[in-house]
Amino acid sequence: MSGISDSEFADIPRVDAIGKVRGTVRFGADDARPEMIHASLATASIARGRIVTLDVSAAEAVPGVHLVLTHENIGPLKTHGFIMGGGYGFQSVQPMESARIAYRGQPIALVAAESLEAAIEGAGLIRATYECEAFNVTLDVPDEDIVNQADTPIKEVIPEVVVGDADGAFAGASVKIDARFTFPPQHQNPMELLATVAEWHGESLVIHESTQAAEAIRHGVATALDISADRIRVVSPFAGGGFGQKNSLQMQTILAVIAARRLKRPVKLVVPRWQVFHDASFRPATRHRLRLGAESSGRMVAAIHEVDAQTSKHDFFPLQYAATTSRLHNIENFRGHERLVRTDVQTPGYMRTPFEHVACFTMESCVDELAYRVGMDPVELRLANDTATDPVTKLPLSSRHVAECLRRGAERFGWHHRLAAPGSMRLPDGAFVGWGVALGTYPCMTVPQIVRLKATDEGDVFIDIGGHEMGQGIRTVLGAIIGRKLGVAPERVIASIGDTLVVPQHLTAGAWGTASVAPAAAHAADALLDALAKLAPAPRRGTPAEMLRAAGRRELAVEIQRKGPGQPDAIYDRLRAGLVSPAGPEYPHSVTFSYIAHFVEVHVEERTRRIRVPRVVSVVDCGRVISPRTAASQVRGGVVWGIGAALREASEVDPRYGGFLNADLAEYVVAVNADVGSIDVEFIDVPDVTFNSVGVKSLGEVALAGVAPAIANAVFHATGRRLRDLPIRIEHVL
């Protein structure tokens, strides 16, 4: 190993930073082909029913309009299936496959034109009449629309979490908390909109799209159009944010592909923000009852977590809230019960930290309440309920540094200055000061990889690997891992990711990106070093380029495979087929989660009751940190999101008309610069080499887990109000 020290890798800049700042990085909709056609969608104005008549004549008459696609002329479509049901789509329904309308905002026509302006004008001139049916868009539905998850096929994959005798232990507990919570639907709003550029070359198809799941798009389109996946290439080098919204085949892709085939020209379809609210997944509305039982010493003995979560009428979105509440603390008796509430919406899905953010809110609010009931400091109470064993499986946890997160966070924050009584801390201007703490956790998963690594005698290293860059810094991680192993500068590591032409591109989500690419890349680098050492004539030691030159070779390549612990070899077939194939967090001999402790200060202004969050300290146990700069950035992003989740974000539903009302960034209020104060991030940075050879766990999603309850606990400390419905607004603390 030559030249590059560990300290030089300690804080490498993002390898794609300069390209992003200069605008040379290409996102999906940046692609501009010669002769490109623009498309725009018209959408349904009813919440449920069917189209009776569809008048496209005015749209067709707009100068420059070449094609109007509707259910009447789109041709046969096979079902691509639901990503969590063995398929590829964010939902099983494909718009325009029939006259049926399943939700307000569902596309009813695509207008393709020479210019974007003509396409938009044409889409605005589509006239439909409908037969309307009764519908529901809230959790208040008739009983027959509420389904126990355990009565659906999901139970084969996600059984209800039942450990010990929760009801008996709760009944006998000396301290009982019984709390109900509600959370609104929320929408991811990545800066980059959903967009596709579809381009046919004879019988082959190239799709440019920013996605987290290039292979799912490829196989989903192949399935829907009944053509061979070999004819399709999906290219997605960068995505301008994903957060679970781009985790599968989206509804616009197939429409753009069909329009491009009809017109024999490339078609670009960018879904505007207001349509994205209706035609991509979102965090479903949920309501919860959490009962927590403890001894007067503070030892927690029982928890019962009951959840109702919104799903669509056409798919069951699999719920995993109890998987989190059962594991945050050492609770011997636990019972989870999850029910799906069928509503007339698009299928909800995985918005960043999908279950854990909400589940941690319920548990960590109750734990804070318990601390007041038993008269213990909330940090001490959590330390007293720590564990090294997974409470559900009783397997060892491969690592859990919750105590260190709490102790270091308390010290950085100055927690020992806290006065326990609510309302007891004030600023000179009279504002109430609240200090709150909460834990977060997120499972550690990993996905199979097929990796090709090639070194050249000029010093470049090329890696083909499965992964998608949506801002989290996957190329920087690869540059750091490969660069350090091979002794080359990170910028000489050229990664091909998000391109189905190179190697299979598994969905990048679930915070498994680094824990999947880092160990696989390290394995490939070791294989390359072995192969270099075996070259003849025997090369001297040095960089791969030096060794290649000594051996008189231009280049050398290796290919390796890596799968998760306990996965069968058949997992590679699933990988090649574009199916979701993660392992974990339960492995054959251990269980792996990441953890975080958030300490939050809020100020509640005395007169206006405005809530501010001037200061957050977050200490993270995510195993080894490969790229401190992008990792800290992930955590800050998660904290900002948590501020939004606690105090701002809600998708407003109108039960009279269906759909979502505040479908733009003016009215869907997220946390902005002025809402964010200091965010101090520290990593425990202890490698978990039981989980993988590099020692990395998950990070991107655990960052958000626990932020919102820490804020709510701080609001309680400031005001004495225990608020269990998000978002918390001024009127709740008047």
Query: Site map for ligand MOS, 70-89, x if CB under 6 A?
Result: --------------------
User: Torsion angle, CA of 60/66/70/74, rounded to 10 degrees?
Assistant: 150
- Least distance (Å) from ligand MOS to the CB of residue 35? 34
228, two tokens: 């061979």
* Nearest residue (CB) to ligand MOS, 239 versus 370: 239
Nearer to ligand MOS, 350 or 572 (CB): 350
Site string for ligand MOS, 511-540 (x = CB under 6 A): ------------------------------
| CB contact at 8 A, 175 and 351 | no
Nearest CB to ligand MOS, comparing residues 327 and 615: 327
**Least distance from C-beta 442 to ligand MOS, angstroms?**
10
| Shortest distance (Å) from residue 349 CB to ligand MOS | 8
CA gap 210, 28 in Å, rounded: 5
For the chain, what is the largest distance between any 2 Cα atoms, rounded to a whole number of angstroms?
A: 81
83 or 93, CB closer to ligand MOS?
83
Which position among 121, 209, 364, 701 bears the catalytic label? 701
Residue 394 Cβ, how far from ligand MOS at the closest point, in Å? 27
265-281: string of b/e by CB count within 10 Å (b at 16+)? bbbbbbbeeebbbbbbb
At 630, list the tokens.
């992008």
In angstroms, the CA 467 to CA 475 distance is 9
State how far the Cα of 647 lies from the Cα of 675, in Å rounded to an integer.
Answer: 10
Nearest to 438 by CA among 375, 382, 498, 497: 382
Q: How far is the CB of 470 from ligand MOS (least distance, A)?
A: 8
CB of residue 353 vs ligand MOS: minimum separation in angstroms?
7
> DSSP labels for 392-425?
TT-PBBS---HHHHHHHHHHHHTGGG---STT--
H-helix or E-strand containing 147?
strand 146-148
Hey, which residues between 223 and 262 contact ligand MOS (CB under 6 A)?
242-244, 247
Q: Are strands 678-683 and 611-621 parallel, antiparallel or unpaired?
A: parallel
- Residue nearest to ligand MOS as judged by C-beta position: 244
Q: Which two tokens stand for residue 261?
A: 């085939």
Decide whether 242 or 539 has the Cβ nearer to ligand MOS. 242
Q: Which is nearer to ligand MOS, 107 or 582 (CB)?
A: 582
696: helix, strand or coil:
strand
Task: Give residue 170's region: left, alpha or beta (phi > 0; psi -120 to 50).
Answer: alpha
* Smallest gap from residue 185 Cβ to ligand MOS (A): 15
The answer to whether 650 and 671 are in contact (CB under 8 A) is no
Q: Which of 466, 510, 578, 695 binds ligand MOS (CB under 6 A)?
A: 510
Helical H segments across 207-335, by residue range: 214-225, 251-263, 273-279, 322-325
Q: Which H or E element spans position 632?
A: helix 628-647
| Residue 527, H or E segment | helix 513-533
Q: Judged by CB under 6 A, how many residues of this single chain contact ligand MOS?
A: 11
Q: How far is the CB of 704 from ligand MOS (least distance, A)?
A: 10
As given in the structure block, the two tokens for residue 76 are 């046969």
Instruction: Tell which one of 161, 509, 702, 726 touches ligand MOS (CB under 6 A).
Output: 509
If the CB atoms of residues 74 and 580 are measured against ligand MOS, the closer one turns out to be: 580
| Residues 313 to 372 in contact with ligand MOS, rule: CB under 6 A | 350-352, 354
189-218 positions binding ligand MOS, by CB under 6 A:
212
Q: What is the rounded distance in angstroms from the CA atom of residue 51 to the CA atom of residue 130? A: 4
Give yes or no: 380 in active site: no
Q: Which CA distances in Å does 504 have to 80, 114, 208, 466?
A: 19, 35, 16, 6
Nearer to ligand MOS, 83 or 646 (CB): 83
Interface with ligand MOS (CB under 6 A)? 212, 242-244, 247, 350-352, 354, 509-510
Q: Which residues are catalytic?
A: 701
